[in-house]
Amino acid sequence: MLSRKEHDCEAIALPEEWTKKVETLLNEVYQSNCKEVGKVFEVYGSTYPSEFVFITSLINPENDRITPVTYFISKDLDPSTKPEKMLDDLVDSIGAFYDIYFSTPDWSDFQAEWLETEFKGHKFFYKISRENVALHLAADKLLKLQ
């Protein structure tokens, strides 16, 4: 499960058009850094009635055995949430994280537990792992077929 909370319903994926737009943006902004480490960004997002989950994963597209760096965001949703502003600000928080990651040569500050933080007035939770999200989603799909 990729979400922070337990849910009784299936996640609704964010529109692919939006996740691809963010993926393209990250790959353009960090192009020289990505080239240097031989990795690219993948972006995933979904919503539940009470939670928004957004994930960026810096992966090696040639070899899934090379450990990715994956940044998870979980934000509680309520009726007053303004989705466009929230999404823009959370994308900015992703940039803030990867700015630190790429500027620290031996970065290894993985945080597998959800931590609460605030960025641009939005309280949200984050975790940083080595999880390969694409493999996780493929495994979930296989388990649902059984």
Q: Per residue of the chain (146 residues), what is the pLDDT tens digit?
A: 588 998 888 889 999 999 999 999 999 999 999 999 999 999 999 999 889 999 999 999 999 889 999 999 999 988 777 777 788 889 999 999 999 999 998 999 999 899 999 998 889 999 999 999 988 888 878 877 65
Domain boundary assignment for the chain: 12-145
What's this model's pTM, rounded to 2 decimal places? 0.91
| Confidence (pLDDT) at 36 | 95
| Confidence (pLDDT) at 138 | 84
Write 91-98 long-range contacts (CB < 8 A, 24+). Answer: 91/22, 91/25, 92/119, 92/120, 93/119, 93/120, 93/122, 93/124, 93/126, 94/22, 94/26, 94/54, 94/56, 95/26, 95/29, 97/71, 97/126, 97/128, 98/26, 98/30, 98/33, 98/56, 98/58, 98/71
Cα distances (Å, whole numbers) of residue 128 to 25, 56, 82, 146? 20, 10, 25, 31
* Helix 83-103 and helix 16-29, axial crossing angle in degrees, nearest 10: 30
Backbone angles phi, psi at 64, to 5 degrees: -75, 0
